Amino acid sequence: MRWTSALLALAFPWAVAAAPSAGDRLSFVSCPIVRDTVTVPCWLAEYEGEVYFLTLQTDVSAPVNPPWLGHQVLVEGVVSDEPGICGGRVIKPVALSVLPALDASCNTMLPAEDRYNLGFEPPRPPGPSRGRLAFGDPTSRSASAPGGTAADGATLKFSLSYEFDGMVAFRHAQILQRILESSRANNATGLRITAYRSASRLSNGTVMREREHIDRERAEQIRELLRGAGLENVKYEVSWKDLSKRPDGVQDVANRRVDVVVVGAN
Amino acid sequence: MTVGFQRLLVSSILGLCVGIASAQDAPPASNWWAPASGKPLAALASYPDAFGSVGVMNAAGPVNSVGHPFFEPIGQNGRACVTCHQPANGMSLSVETIRRRWEESDGKDALFAPVDGMDCPHLPSGDPHSHSMLLERGLFRIFLPWPPKAVDGSTIEPEFTLEVVRDPTGCNTHPEYGLKSAHPLVSVYRRPRPVANLRYITHQGFGVFAFIGKNGLPASRDPDSGQPSAMNLLSDARQPTLATQALEAAVTHLQFDGKLDDQRLGRIVDFERQIYVAQSQHATAGDLMEANGPSGLGVRNLASGRDGLLGNNITNFVIPLDGQWKQLPPGEDAQGAARNRMRESIARGHDVFMFRTFWIRDAMHLNTVGLGNPAKRTCATCHGMHMLGMDVANGWMDIGTTNLPWAREEPLNPWSARKPLLPLFKITCKTGVPPHPFLGSVIYTQDPGRALISGKCNDVGTIVMQQLRGLSARAPYFANGAASSLRELVDFYDRRFNIDFTDKEREDLVNFLSAL
């Protein structure tokens, strides 16, 4: 990760605006805060004197996973006009990246307070479920579901998104499984893997760039994982592209990805 | 060394061990199953244990052990599989049985074979100090190549360096058996896992895919079928199937010279897939197999249950009690009253297990898999497999049983003569490798666990969790035997996760576990 000067604030006036309005994009690095409730804990973060709600604890099926105490978190999202949750303004959609370095100062746990209890039933209680994952079973999604779109009769496209500076993690197991199954089911002859390196322009004008060569590392890792899972008799075309030169605070999250095209599918 | 002096040493070691052990019921009478004993194993047998009796059920009917490769000494050291997987100990091996066997055989039983029943093979034979791991904690030596080898035999470049900080057995620094020997080996010490209920453990249901749900990496596969493995057989998940495990165990534990033939291998695997173990009788709660009793208890219910199911929900439950035993009448007499009170305690313990929330923090491969750190959850979050209570998916994680600062260490001070029992390793993650998310780049551990197979920094100290059935028959607990009783097991979690159990919750949870 490379940090560059914050003097770009002059060039980006929105970066130094006071409290953001609904619809404003917001990107910042902060310590996460966990607040207990009578049900599941809320995850919050403070930025420039304002407390924001990031997400709730649910389960492995959640599209957004809570951050970790002991680490800073990169928050990238849009300020929502939804009612506040747990005392925080809602950022939605939101992408959270746990930063790898340990930071013992990120250690705030707040007790439950009646005024901050959830005004709705959470998707998943803090203990046993009611018989299903909070957001359904991701592995049962078909190849045509998000992440596996059929571009035409001969190709299937998948996209894996990453945390900042992140490599394959638990959340990628399911989409890798779908790539594997789709390739086998369609007698794929090849896979085109294209990986990207991104950067993030923070709201204060700072630019964070992912580590060098992570685009290539991501591409090669996906190839090796698919090979390791038994997808050996296909031709791999592996490429990578550095998109970290011009972060705009809009496409930064989407640029942290690997695209996989299954070629020759019948 | 004179015989008298040896006996004195045995007495001192065993006396010390008994002092450490729990105040549970007196050990049961000897039910040692010797290799080639020729005894049949009944379709349903029960053996006394610390809380009543454990049931052993062969779903395929009685087993004729004559000539059966699980029961015959097929290797060079006189052991059979049954030596370390005793029916009376729930197909594992309790430390009480080990100590008794030492006394009965004067330390000459094949159980104490130098290859792994001794702290290190170079130590003097017949000396109980040479077998301190077995006699104190029921631990066998597991010796693994370092650096690790992939399935194809290639060397895996580890993400960390491994330094021996403490080597009480001398094995990790030994010129023939250690890390600097001609064929470098690392020795760690682990409990034998129960050979029972394996249909559940080797399931192909919930959470078993080609990619590991905890890290997205490829799961190991059955070399014959190509199917992904649940990777829950061994504490480091190094063997994907019962067959590959048996092949390895025949060589490393039985010192079988060569490769088991398909016929004997098939008989071992067939036997292992049909045997079930669960507590069948509770000393106070009574019969756990009675008609219309809770459907999660007793070995017969276990043998007929569904595998591959997530039980961390209110539709399947991990151990279904069907709402029974919640409120019982006072009882027809004193014995009936005690039985009903214990049954109510077991039911409350079930609810503690399922519903008592606490903050789970800094547990690798638990807090990192989408729940956040910390996560407010319950015991059943991790122990979620229906009927068995182990992880239904690939189940290695680090809760601190082997990694410092949480692992049980000997308190060192001027007033104690006791020395640390287990080795200690210093793990240093290499430059360029992300630090372990909770322990940083330098980790001290008694057993690197899965990392000895994967070579990954974030796997250091991760251990595949154990099933919860037949616990009363096979103390001590955890892979390194750190908890000598169910009470100590519960206390570990209480301390590790700052749960703050009440006395009643603790007692109820122990009673629940004792009935499984």
Q: Encode pLDDT of B172-186 as tens digits.
A: 999 999 999 999 999
Look at A15-19, A73-77, B59-63 and tell me which has the smallest mean pLDDT. A15-19
Whether the predicted pLDDT of B306 surpasses 90:
yes
pLDDT band at A266 (very low <50, low <70, confident <90, very high): low
Q: Is B155 left (phi over 0), alpha (psi -120 to 50) or beta?
A: beta
Look at A136-140, A251-255, B210-214, B218-222 and tell me which has the smallest mean pLDDT. A136-140
pLDDT, tens digit, 9 for 90 and up, residues B353-396: 999 999 999 999 999 999 999 999 999 999 999 999 999 999 89
Whether the predicted pLDDT of A135 surpasses 90:
no
CATH architecture, domain A2-116: Beta Barrel (2.40)
**pTM over cut 0.90:** yes
B221 CB near a chain A CB, below 8 Å?
yes
What DSSP character marks residue B92? Answer: B
Contact A40 B376 (CB under 8 A): yes
What CATH number should be reported for the domain whose range is A138-263? 3.30.1330.60
B214 CB near a chain A CB, below 8 Å?
yes
pLDDT, tens digit, 9 for 90 and up, residues A210-221: 999 999 999 999
pLDDT at A133: 83
pLDDT band at B247 (very low <50, low <70, confident <90, very high): very high
Q: Which residues contact B186 (CB under 8 A, 6 or more apart)?
A: B143, B144, B145, B146, B162, B172, B179, B425, B448, B452
Q: CB count, 10 Å around CB of A113?
A: 12
Residues of chain A with CATH 2.40.50: 2-116
Whether the predicted pLDDT of A4 surpasses 80:
no
B79 CB near a chain A CB, below 8 Å?
no
Peptide bond into B405 cis (omega under 30): yes
Whether the predicted pLDDT of B29 surpasses 90:
no
Residues of A in contact with B214 (CB under 8 A): 170
Choose the closest CB to A67 out of B219, B372, B434: B372
What helix, strand, coil percent values describe chain B, rounded to 5? 30, 15, 55
Average pLDDT over all residues of chain B: 94
Contact A59 B370 (CB under 8 A): yes
pLDDT, tens digit, 9 for 90 and up, residues B403-462: 999 999 999 999 999 999 999 999 999 999 999 999 999 999 999 999 999 999 999 999
B313 CB near a chain A CB, below 8 Å?
yes
Look at A85-89, A262-266, B482-486 and tell me which has the smallest mean pLDDT. A262-266
Contact B216 A129 (CB under 8 A): no
Distance of alpha carbon B132 from alpha carbon B31, whole angstroms: 23
Choose the closest CB to A173 out of B216, B313, B377: B216
Choose the closest CB to A173 out of B213, B368, B376: B213
Contact A130 B209 (CB under 8 A): no
Residues of chain A with CATH 3.30.1330.60: 138-263
Q: Where are the domains of chain B?
A: 3-514
Contact B294, B114 (CB under 8 A): no
Indicate the length of chain A as a whole number.
266
pLDDT band at A132 (very low <50, low <70, confident <90, very high): confident
Whether the predicted pLDDT of B348 surpasses 90:
yes
Distance of alpha carbon B478 from alpha carbon B399, whole angstroms: 11
DSSP bridge pairs for A201: A207
Q: Is A163 helix (H, G, I), strand (E, B) or coil?
A: coil
pLDDT at A19: 85
Contact B213 A128 (CB under 8 A): no
Residues of B in contact with A109 (CB under 8 A): 359, 374
B375 CB near a chain A CB, below 8 Å?
yes
B247 CB near a chain A CB, below 8 Å?
no
Contact A168 B217 (CB under 8 A): yes
Whether the predicted pLDDT of B297 surpasses 60:
yes
Look at A212-216, B29-33, B113-117 and tell me which has the smallest mean pLDDT. B29-33
B62 CB near a chain A CB, below 8 Å?
no
